[in-house]
Amino acid sequence: MTWQTKVPSWVIPLLTEYAIPDSATVITGVEFATLDDGVSPITLSGNNLQADYPGIVPNFSLDPEITPVSNGLQYNLKAKKAVGFYGVDCTVTSFDDKKLNRWVFPLTRRNFGHIALSRFSTVAVSEPIHYENEYHFSLGVQALALNYDDDFSTSNLFNSVDKFCLTKVSAFLYPSVVLQVAFLPIWEVWAVRFFQSQ
């Protein structure tokens, strides 16, 4: 069995420059963006209160890790595909303080509105927005994506972690509130590992 039969078709073009033996090991998994790596920011305000996840372009990448060892090189070629998002980084960019309820304990809080993260039309999480900067996550999506393992993926190359990802953000905002939302993506990862002697 060649390594090409162990991976989905989108992985193969990313690895063409490497001489990969058929005995290479294939490992699958997911990677989550860090809290500082929000992408594709969009602005929600007025009548524009809903947006589909715009994705990342290009959504395929290669993260090669080549480690010298005593008698050769250890390769860990990680092909990655951005497949969706698991949370958002929210920033309130504008508001009229006189139009909002406000209280302090211990931080200044306001009623800016509500945000909902969904997979298509099904809401996964809905939460109030109280701070000018805050994160919102779907812990269920994170837990499901972490279960994307070798047994699930390599048994059927059409299984994809995007089945566990969110696709849409919606908001209810009080008058004068403008909200910027950056998406925290999830990457499906296929790592091809092998040793090359020197």
Q: pLDDT truncated to tens, each residue of the chain (198 aa)?
A: 788 998 989 999 999 999 999 999 998 888 899 999 899 999 999 999 999 998 887 789 999 999 999 899 999 999 999 888 999 999 999 999 999 999 998 889 999 999 999 999 999 999 999 999 999 999 888 888 877 665 555 556 556 777 788 999 999 999 999 999 999 999 989 999 999 988
| CA dihedral sign, ordered 110, 108, 178, 49 | negative
- pTM for the full predicted model: 0.86
Structure tokens at 27: 């490992």
- What distance in Å separates the CA atoms of residue 160 and residue 158, rounded to the nearest whole number? 6
